[in-house]
Amino acid sequence: MSRPNGNIALISFYGVENMGIRFINSILRKNGFNTHLIFFKKWLNNDIQYPSEKEISLLGSLLKELDVSMIGMGFTSPFLKIAQNLTEKIKKTLDAKIVWGGIHATVCLEECLAYCDIVCRGEGEETMLELANALKEGRSLDGIKSICYKKDNSIVIADMRPLIRDLDKLSFPDYSNQGKYFIEGRLEYKDPLTNARELRVSASRGCPFNCSYCYNSIMRKIYKNEHYHRLRSPQSIVSEISHSLSTLKKIKKIKFDDDTFIFPKEWIDKFCVLYARDVGLPFEILFNVQCLDEENLKKLKDSGLKKVQVGIQTVSCLESGRDYNRKLSLEKIRNFALISKEFNLHVVYDIILDNPQSQFEDKVALVEFLLTLPRPFDLFLYSLTVFPGTELCERLLREDIIKPEDVEGHATKSFHQFRLSLSYPRSKEELFIACVISLTSKSFLPRRLISTVLKNRFLRKHPLLIKWFAIATNQVKLFCILIRMIIDGDMSLWKFQEYGAPKRFLIQ
């Protein structure tokens, strides 16, 4: 292999908002590397399509044209087979080191090394910089932490690098068109977020909780002796947003992607002042009601908070604790709902269905609970998807409730059913309860009507009628949401493509 020339390509699969790879791109570029950020295909809700031969050819030709000596690929478990196929094709034509990163590579490193040259585990900014320098200078990889590679017919698994403590020192993501490429049917020389209406930002890394289905249950074990949940300073966040808005001129709102937006009172106070003064755009957060502080919520609302996404998942204490490792307090959820109604906040509740251990009676109780919450609210319904390495995955495999082929990576369920749709095959009883749950968020339907449907044994055994009724009422609500987004300036052609076809419709 010829000596690396410092030209690096970073490829994000089906994720134009991939913040991890954007941060890595920024730190490499800041340190003098000629980086090229390639966004390979876009995510479409429940409609992920494998790349065409034309798209694969476009990627291969682009990599040759860029004359890269190092290629980084970032992806999650569902895209494993696509990564394997592309890596095999690239290796046939390019003499470049291929590095895999992301949560799947972190968990299943030996499986990944059967295809790539090096695995980058955990947080990648400092590791990829050290790795790029070593490859460019022709130095040994020995001593570089958080990587895995083959050496003398054996696998070297380096110690993990400590977590980045000072998140403020990281370079901001770059949204300019320089060195950016987008492949979706054709090759475009631009950042695909150029005309975005929504900017995603993270004010922290990690999570104070440990839900068993989440990637955090993996990372907490890997970094078990470290302080996992780390915060950025309010000034750093506001500065990043301002920096991004100088390039992205059409942004209408900010979405904080933190797993849960929980911060100390002093942090909230400073953030609210800076955000209202320097940004002023509406924003939305993910939140855990276990940490509800009415005073803090009011301050956030006054500084621009418009939407809060809250995980209920289930109203069964057994399911919540045993299956999801979550504390459940229906009283706290109800209290949050009342406060949010008072503050005129747009609330979205997350619900998980298709749990093989869930009882029908618990789902009936879920409907009854949702009918007690103040309207209006939206729902995000998720079909339980099992990812490798999570605590939930390990337990379900151990207890023979699922098979290895049911786990994402081998399976690709999330291509078609990450967000729940009523067209996906399921039992009559499961279809019935999913339809009734979807009705609870339709404020134009009387609660008494939904309760009557819930108790109807005929519809439970013959759910086709209620399925079409649920689909019709959901389309009515989606149309109203579409009109609201157009009026608010939030709708774009890109967003419409993600959700605008019948198979991509969200249940809200």
pLDDT: is 448 or 478 the higher one? 448
Query: Under 8 Å CB-to-CB from 479, ≥6 apart: which residues?
Result: none
Average pLDDT over residues 483-495: 78
pLDDT of 122-166, one tens digit each? 999 999 999 999 999 999 999 999 999 999 889 999 999 999 999
Distance CA 248, CA 382 (A): 31
**201, β-bridge pairs:** 256
| Cis peptide, bond prior to residue 446, ω within 30 of zero | no
Residue 268 has pLDDT above 90, yes or no: yes
Averaged pLDDT of the chain: 94
**Which is the CATH superfamily of the domain at 7-169?**
Cobalamin-binding domain (3.40.50.280)
pLDDT of 373-425, one tens digit each? 999 999 999 999 999 999 999 999 999 999 999 999 999 999 999 899 999 99
pLDDT of amino acid 4? 66
Average pLDDT over residues 241-270: 96
Query: Under 8 Å CB-to-CB from 313, ≥6 apart: which residues?
Result: 319, 320, 324, 326, 350, 351, 352
Report whether CATH 3.40.50.300 matches the domain 195-504. no
Q: pLDDT grade, residue 488 (50/70/90)?
A: confident
pLDDT of amino acid 496? 74
pTM above 0.85, yes or no: yes
pLDDT of 39-71, one tens digit each? 999 998 889 999 999 999 999 999 999 999 999
pLDDT of amino acid 478? 87
Query: Domain locations in the chain?
Result: 7-169, 195-504
Cα radius of gyration (the chain): 23
Average pLDDT over residues 304-331: 96
pLDDT of amino acid 3? 57
Name the phi and psi angles at 219, rounded to 5: -65, -30
Name the phi and psi angles at 316, rounded to 5: -90, 120
Residue 272 has pLDDT above 90, yes or no: yes
